[in-house]
Each structure stands twice: as C-alpha cells, then as structure tokens.
Amino acid sequence: MAKKQVKKSWAEPFKIKVVEPIKMTTKSEREKAAKEAGYNTFLLKSEDVYIDLLTDSGTNAMSDYQWAGMMIGDEAYAGSKNFYYLWDNVKKYYGMPYFVPTHQGRAAEHMVSKIMIKPGDYIPGNMYFTTTRVHQELAGATFVDVIVDQAHDPANTYAWKGNIDLKKMAKLVKEVGAKKIPYVSMAGPVNMAGGQPFSMKNLKDVYEFCKKHKIKLWFDATRACENAYFIKEKEKGYKTKSVEQILKEMCSYFDGLWVSAKKDLLVNIGGIIATKNKKVYEEARNMVVVYEGLHTYGGLAGRDMEAMARGMEEMVEYDNIHLRVGQVEYCGHQLEKYGVPIVKPIGGHAIFLDAKKFLSHLPQDQFPAQTLAAEIYIDSGVRAMERGIASAGRDPETGDHRYPKLELVRLTFPRRVYTQAHIDVMVESIASVYARRKKIKGLKMVYEPKYLRFFQCKFERL
Ligand code: F0G
C-alpha cells in the first residue's frame, strides 16, 4: 500500500545536452524595459526576459535527432528530398494525401481562406483565433462563433469546452443558408478558450452535420496531438488507443487541415496545408508559388522540413505529450494553492489567469489582462501574453472595441524548455502579484495599429 503511494512522481523523458544561459535583471531594469515596451510584452527584448512564457510557438527545444536531421538539409530549389520525406510523414500521421508546405501557420490560413471563401460568406468556428479570423475576414467572410457556451465561462469545468454547439450551427444554416458557408473552421484544443479540447463524439456529430448540409470541414490542427491526448485520457473508449491512432481518426473526419508546425511539431518554424481534395490542393500548390516559394519548399529551408518531419515522429510519443500537459497541470495546481483564479479545466498548452477576477477593480477598457501581464513581468521577469480585449481587436462594422467575455493572461509553455524549478519561481511571482493586486492601476492605449493590434500596440499607466 505504502509502496504504491510513493511512486507517483514523473519526470522529463530526456536529459539535457545543451543549455542556453539566461540573463537575470533587477526590478528597476524591468520597470524601465516595460515602460519602453509600452507595457506590451510583445515589444520587450527577449534578452530582458527571465522565463519566457509568451508563447509555445516556435520556442521549442529540438531533440538531437532533429538537430542531426538539420545537417542533411537538401537545399535544392526544387524537389528537395526533405520535402518528400515530410510529405510521407504528413500522409502517415495526418492521413491526408495532398500537402503544401508554408513558412508558418498564418501563411497556410491565408491561402486556405483565399481558396475556400467568397466575399459575403460565413465561417463558423469553435471560437476565433486571432490570425485565423483575420485571414477569413480579409477574404471577405464573417466569422461566427459556434463554440459551446461553457467555453466562455472560465470557471465552468466541463471537460469538452472546445466542442461545437450544433444548435448554433443549425441556427446559422437557417439564417444564411448552407451555400453561404463554405466550411466549418474547427480547432482543437481551442487556444483562446484556454487550450480546451473537443471530444471525438462532438467531432463525429459535426462531421455528420456538415455532410448533411454539404459544408466542408477544415481543421486547425496546430496542437492536434494535445487534443488527441485529452481524448485518450478523458473520453470513453480511447484509453487503449495511441495518440497516433487518435490523431489519425480525428483527421479522417476533415476535408483538409492547416498546421502551425511551430507547436506540435517541436520545431522553430514551419507550416502545413494538407487536404483530401485534389482541386483545393492544386490551387494551394499554385498559390504558394506567389506568396511563399516553390511548392517543394514553401518558404522553408530543406533542413527546416527535415526537422519538421522528424518532429512529427516525436509529437505523437505519449511521454512527450504527457510531460507537456503534465507541466501545465503542475503549474495550475500550484497557482490554485495560492487562490489565484485560473481557467478550468487546465488546458493543454498554457495556464490562463482570469484577469477579470484577478484585477476585479479594473473595468475591461482599462485592459486588466494587459496590465497583469506587465505587472508579472516587472515582478520577476516572467513574460506572459494578454488574451483579452486588446487581442480581440475592433468590430469591423462599428469600429468599437470587441469586449470578449474572457479577459485572460496566458502563461504558455515552450516544449522541453523549462523545468519544474522554473515553474516554482514563476508561481511564487504570480502569487506575490496576487497578494498586492488591489494596488494595481490599469492602462490606456496610446498607439494602435490596424491589423492584429495586440502585437504592436502601446500603453501608458493610468
Ligand atoms: N492557429 C492556432 C491555433 C495558433 O495558435 C496559431 C499561432 C496559428 C494558427 C498561427 O500560426 O503563428 O505559425 O502563423 N499561435 C501563436 C500563439 C502565435 O502564440 O498562440 P503561426
């Protein structure tokens, strides 16, 4: 009995071979850096950051197997052997016959949107993602959020907050007609909802619905392996299936997918369009030449494609994903011990602090999440990201801010980069900011670019 209880810890399924030293800064240095960055963590110099949880995008540590692959990059302009190896792995892991590489996810989103959308169309999706929606809108569509209501409530512990609400889908079809809906844009796990997965049951229902109404179903498979992991852990009937098998089954319900390889694939750059549809493939293959480069490199070096192909083999390994989700869970449970309000259930790639609750004295137009991210940086050099009113941008019709229900700060975990000790330091910093939260003042926006404003906007303290 006692023996069983002792063996409950787990650790990284690797040992560390190369290290990158990080600079330690003082609080007054960080005050200055934050002010210069307009209190926008995107505008900080990475050198001034201690633990960088801005994003899990392109911030991964590659394995020795991937680095070894970088040495056999075939840098031919056309027909690189790394491209063909990557294509084989796209078929093997995503089960899609056709493939076009892109330099990163939003390039894929751009092309898929341009190919699939006609001006005046509607794109339903399980909550917006910033770059996804902007490309859908630039192609002339209106994005319609059809995620389940639970996803908009940070305290709701429903396991499948990434699910699509079919009643919302049916309502949209009734209002605008299926002909105006070229495809459903389904992501899993849902980044902006807190890394929340959809269930296989929901995906099958969405698939049947789309089939009935002759609407295509496209997948933002950027973190699909995490979604597969949650299905394995939580959904009945999947315990004995491998992540690889679950991923393949998920993909089988989609007409096509795009991927930001900078996440699941454990690389620093790259993107994918993959589809079952030959016509769409041919259009994408032609378009990529205009925007990215020849269809056998899509804006990437041969060595990048080799690292992606090898990363794909590692992304489905259970121990890798267990480490990843396990770290996020550990962090969340530690924060809960201090009473810090977080989005629940704990998601796949990040902990999301509920800034509305954390800084409940600040109205949303004083940017509580932006303020909190800046405060955490100044406290300890930990860099997080706003996911609230600044990220939501303006309504193209009214020009007013969009006021999202979720006003969050995202602490995103790069893959295989930080240890449990880093997490402990970060948790203590956030707990100390939480203890003095009542004294924190909000921000006002003083500079705002037109597109994806959160990346470059600037603020001043009120
Ligand atoms: N889709 C999802 C779900 C994403 O999270 C991202 C990027 C993209 C598409 C776009 O891919 O960056 O390669 O162009 N997310 C990053 C993040 C930026 O921090 O969440 P990209």
pLDDT tens per residue, range 36-57: 999 999 999 999 999 999 999 9
CA of 57 to the centre of ligand 1 (A): 7
Does a cis peptide bond (omega within 30 degrees of 0) precede residue 13? Answer: no
Instruction: Give burial (CB, 10 Å; 0-12/13-18/19+) of 318.
Output: middle
Q: How far apart are CA 74 and CA 107, in angstroms?
A: 23
Q: How far apart are the first and last CA of the chain?
A: 58
Ligand 1 pocket check: which of 222, 227, 352, 454 to mutate, most ligand atoms within 8 Å of Cβ? 222
Domains of the chain: 27-49+318-461 (3.90.1150.10), 64-315 (3.40.640.10)
Band of pLDDT at residue 396, cut at 50, 70 and 90: confident
Torsion of CA 335, 338, 339, 343, to 10 degrees: 0
Of how many residues is the chain composed? Answer: 462
Q: Is the pLDDT of residue 77 over 70?
A: yes
Which residues, at least 6 apart from 74, have a Cβ–Cβ distance to it below 8 Å? 80, 81, 82, 302
Give the lowest-confidence range in 8-12, 15-19, 294-298: 8-12
Distances (CA, A) of 372 to 41, 56, 300, 390: 11, 19, 36, 13
Torsion of CA 356, 358, 361, 365, to 10 degrees: -40
Tell me if 105 CB under 6 Å of ligand 1: yes
Q: Is the pLDDT of residue 168 over 90?
A: yes
Average pLDDT over residues 135-140: 97
Tokens linked to 162: 């990434």
CA of 267 to the centre of ligand 1 (A): 13
Tell me if 129 CB under 6 Å of ligand 1: yes
pLDDT averaged over every residue in the chain:
97
Could you read off the pLDDT of 283-336 as tens digits, one per residue?
999 999 999 999 999 999 999 999 999 999 999 999 999 999 999 999 999 999
Q: Which atom of ligand 1 is least distant from the CA of 262?
A: 13
Rg (CA), the chain: 22
pLDDT at 25: 96
Average pLDDT over residues 188-195: 95
Q: What number of other Cβ atoms are within 10 A of residue 6's Cβ?
A: 7
* Reported pTM: 0.95
**Residue corresponding to tokens 């089988």:** 252
Q: Which of 457, 372, 431 is nearest to 407 (CA)?
A: 372
Q: Is the pLDDT of residue 8 over 90?
A: no
pLDDT at 9: 85
Q: How far apart are CA 356 and CA 358, in angstroms?
A: 6
Average pLDDT over residues 241-253: 98
pLDDT at 7: 80
CA of 424 to the centre of ligand 1 (A): 27
